[in-house]
Amino acid sequence: MKEQLIELKSRALAAIEAAQDVKSLEDVKVVYLGKKGELTSVLKQMGKLTAEERPVMGALANEVRERFESEYNTKVSALKNAEILTRMANEKIDITLPGKRRRMGSRHPLNIVLDELKEIFTSMGYTMVYGPEVEKTRYVFDMLETHEGHPARDEQDTFYIDDETILRTQTSSVQIRTMLDAVKNNALPLAIISPGRVYRCDEVDATHSPIFHQCEGLVINKNITFADLKGTLEVFFKRLYGDSIQLRFRPHHFPYTEPSAEVDLSCFKCGGGGCPFCKGEGWIEMLGCGMVHPQVLRNCGIDPDEYTGFAFGMGIERITLMRYEIDDMRLLYENDMRFLKQF
């Protein structure tokens, strides 16, 4: 048995020595120290020994096992270290590769124009207010004297949430909210602009979209006249487009203003001579405006004998197209970087 143990020891140690990786080393362990391993089966024969032989063989067997285990442990950590080193060598990251370039976005032309518009009006003393896009039909129509069955209501045939709630078709609803608030808080006079999104049941073409942007303006004070309206819009458009731009006020009808007008600007492409862009007119329609109707003032609890005011509503897309000489509104919504990068 002694010879058997010594022979086994030298074979086992040689096998440990020969193992090339952790997996085969573990197999060696099973072969010698496993339940059915060689050392285990030698030990099972201990019963056959005499009482004197047993402790001697026992000590030798223990020595063989201890030596095996210590060699085994040393080899395991050597192999694991080697494996880590190989992995580190193989998975090296080449930090000299150029990184992925992040493309810088640019500001959308609608936002650029909107900021210019805010800047001009706030410099004239206007405050910015915002109103909800999901709005009461009362504020969008009724309190603006556009009652059920009114043709102007039909024209803006729109997205109803329920009988009393719609996606607003015009920012004019903010007029009502602002006047009600001002009366409640005793905050007259007032001068506000309110930009935002509006919704109409429109097909998309070069000049229409079911979602677009407007900016409402409202001034209420004592002794406000149509001359104030004209002067304000003239200052605004000249600051936006330069002094050579011309304004034309055309009589019109809106249910919530009296008198009412539409304002045209001389065409930016032809300067007024007539071209395809202005459909030969020389003028481009820009906005609606007028003196706030006395009944609208009354609806909001304002005495029309004490206060008067003017209001206007302009399409921000139109202003943007004209500002940058873009001839198709759809370009504003397509998010094509080649287009957007130009501003």
How many residues touch ligand DAH under the rule CB under 6 A: the total is 11
For ligand DAH, the closer CB: 268 or 312: 312
β-pair partners for 326: none
Helix (H) or strand (E) holding 61: helix 53-90
Whether 199 contacts 158, CB under 8 Å: yes
Q: Near ligand DAH by CB under 6 A, which window of 38-46, 129-137, 201-209, 285-293?
A: 285-293
User: Among residues 110, 4, 136, 128, which one has the least CA distance to residue 330?
Assistant: 110
For ligand DAH, the closer CB: 64 or 296: 296
User: Among residues 319, 313, 298, which one has the least CA distance to residue 254?
Assistant: 313
The CA distance from 242 to 233, in Å, is 13
Instruction: Figure out which of the listed residues 135, 216, 264, 317 binds ligand DAH, where binding follows CB under 6 A.
Output: 216
For residue 171, the minimal CB distance to ligand DAH (Å) is 7
CA atoms within 13 A on the CB side of 163: 1
For ligand DAH, the closer CB: 216 or 317: 216
For ligand DAH, the closer CB: 28 or 233: 233
For residue 153, the minimal CB distance to ligand DAH (Å) is 12
Residue 288 near ligand DAH by CB under 6 A: yes
Token couple for 161: 């949430």
Whether 180 contacts 301, CB under 8 Å: yes
For ligand DAH, the closer CB: 75 or 320: 320
For ligand DAH, the closer CB: 121 or 312: 312
Instruction: Figure out which of the listed residues 263, 311, 321, 322 binds ligand DAH, where binding follows CB under 6 A.
Output: 311
The CA distance from 266 to 282, in Å, is 6
The conformation of residue 196, written as its DSSP 8-state character, comes to: E
Instruction: Figure out which of the listed residues 109, 195, 272, 290 binds ligand DAH, where binding follows CB under 6 A.
Output: 290
Applying the rule CB under 6 A, the residues between 229 and 268 that interact with ligand DAH are 254, 257
For residue 130, the minimal CB distance to ligand DAH (Å) is 16
Alpha helix segments (H runs only) across 206-287: 226-241
Residue 313 near ligand DAH by CB under 6 A: yes
For ligand DAH, the closer CB: 176 or 278: 176
Token couple for 260: 């009412």
For residue 257, the minimal CB distance to ligand DAH (Å) is 4
Whether 114 contacts 195, CB under 8 Å: yes
- Percent helix, percent strand, percent coil in the chain, to nearest 5: 45, 20, 35
Residues that bind ligand DAH (CB under 6 A): 170, 172, 216, 254, 257, 288-290, 311-313
